[in-house]
């Protein structure tokens, strides 16, 4: 339970963090809330020689509304998301998902940027940001780039973020009238991580027809994914229970399900369709109300 020894640097700006990353290359790791990295280091599953603590960089924590987007700093904790008035009024699903992550200590220290960068297959936020169609900002010595969330999660604990980049912000839409989003998870009984979690965002027109749908799934497979067949099963249809049920049945199609002591592949696939049905039903109710 004791990590290998490492050098510790506290970065005072994103530029300083980036320059430390360049200086130390693959030996270095960013430290944010530490609630994923430190447990891995204690188990010696991660043995970075250098930790670059970004936890106190000014301006990286908090939520701002800019036009019809919410700009979330990478260091924003789950507790901040859960209690942010801008999140509650503009994108309640983020507060809902944050409030059921881990325990109070995890919610006070864990950050949304850490969660997305780490890409744990059982973490909640990947499903939510996929459903919302988020865009991410990453900074390196070469400048800034924007990453579409659809191109971010690529494998177990792997993303398209480069080792010399710092994730600095996450942009999500303010949900407009006629659009609703919801998250439903089957939590692990001890850790509260998602055995399966599904987030849904649907838009309906005046006649109740679904004009667009995005479904994000986490916990089920090596990395979070969009359930595109379910999205197709909703779009252009009236969101009654039969349509939602039929579409939800396809949320695990063509995806290799994980299997562990908590849930077999078959059970996970079943949970995916149940969580999808619940999330879509609630998102549709919110869209209509």
Sign for the CA dihedral angle at 113, 116, 122, 126 comes to positive
Smallest separation, CB 191 to ligand FAD (Å): 4
Smallest separation, CB 93 to ligand FAD (Å): 14
Binding footprint of ligand FAD, residue count (CB under 6 A): 31
DSSP-derived 3-state class of residue 28 = strand
* Pairwise CA distance, residues 272 & 90, whole Å: 27
Which ranges of the chain does DSSP label H, i.e. alpha helix?
Answer: 14-24, 37-42, 78-83, 85-90, 92-99, 104-109, 112-118, 125-132, 228-234, 241-248, 265-288
| List 76, 115, 221, 262, residue binding ligand FAD (CB under 6 A) | 115
* Closer to ligand FAD by Cβ: residue 104 or 206: 104
Residue span 125-164 as binding mask against ligand FAD, x where in contact by CB under 6 A, dash where not: x-----------------------------------x---
Contact call for residues 221 and 256 (beta carbons, < 8 A):
yes
Smallest separation, CB 116 to ligand FAD (Å): 8
Stretch that binds ligand FAD, among 111-119, 127-135, 147-155, 261-269 (CB under 6 A): 111-119
Position closest to ligand FAD via CB = 114
| List 33, 73, 90, 219, residue binding ligand FAD (CB under 6 A) | 33
Q: Is 73 in the site for ligand FAD (CB under 6 A)?
A: no
Contact call for residues 157 and 240 (beta carbons, < 8 A):
no
Contact call for residues 251 and 234 (beta carbons, < 8 A):
no
Burial of 11 by CB count in 10 Å (0-12 exposed, 13-18 middle, 19+ buried)?
Answer: buried
Interface contacts to ligand FAD, rule CB under 6 A = 29-37, 39, 74, 101-102, 106, 110-111, 113-115, 117-118, 120, 123-125, 161, 166-167, 191-193
């Amino acid at each position: 339970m004791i990590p290998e020894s490492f050098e510790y640097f506290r970065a005072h700006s994103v530029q300083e963090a980036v320059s430390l990353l360049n200086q130390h290359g693959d030996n270095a790791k960013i430290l944010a809330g530490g609630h994923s990295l430190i447990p891995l280091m204690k188990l010696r599953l991660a043995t970075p020689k250098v930790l670059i603590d970004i936890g106190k960089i000014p301006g990286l924590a908090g939520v701002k509304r800019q036009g019809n987007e919410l700009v979330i700093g990478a260091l924003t904790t789950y507790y901040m998301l859960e209690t942010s008035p801008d999140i509650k009024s503009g994108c309640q699903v983020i507060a809902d998902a944050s409030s059921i992550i881990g325990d109070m200590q995890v919610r006070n220290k864990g950050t949304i940027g850490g969660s997305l960068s780490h890409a744990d297959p059982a973490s909640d936020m990947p499903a939510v940001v996929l459903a919302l169609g988020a865009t991410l900002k990453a900074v390196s010595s070469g400048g800034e780039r924007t990453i579409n969330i659809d191109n971010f999660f690529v494998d177990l604990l792997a993303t398209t973020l480069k080792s010399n980049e710092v994730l600095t912000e996450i942009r999500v839409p303010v949900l407009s009238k006629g659009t609703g989003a919801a998250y439903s998870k089957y939590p692990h009984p001890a850790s509260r991580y998602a055995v399966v979690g599904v987030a849904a965002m649907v838009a309906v027109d005046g006649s109740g027809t679904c004009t667009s749908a995005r479904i994000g799934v986490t916990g089920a497979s090596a990395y979070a994914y969009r359930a595109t067949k379910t999205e197709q099963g909703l779009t252009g249809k009236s969101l009654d229970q039969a349509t939602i049920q039929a579409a939800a049945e396809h949320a695990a199609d063509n995806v290799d399900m994980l299997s562990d002591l908590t849930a077999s592949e078959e059970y996970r696939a079943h949970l995916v369709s149940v969580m999808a049905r619940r999330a879509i039903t609630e998102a549709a109710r919110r869209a209509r109300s």
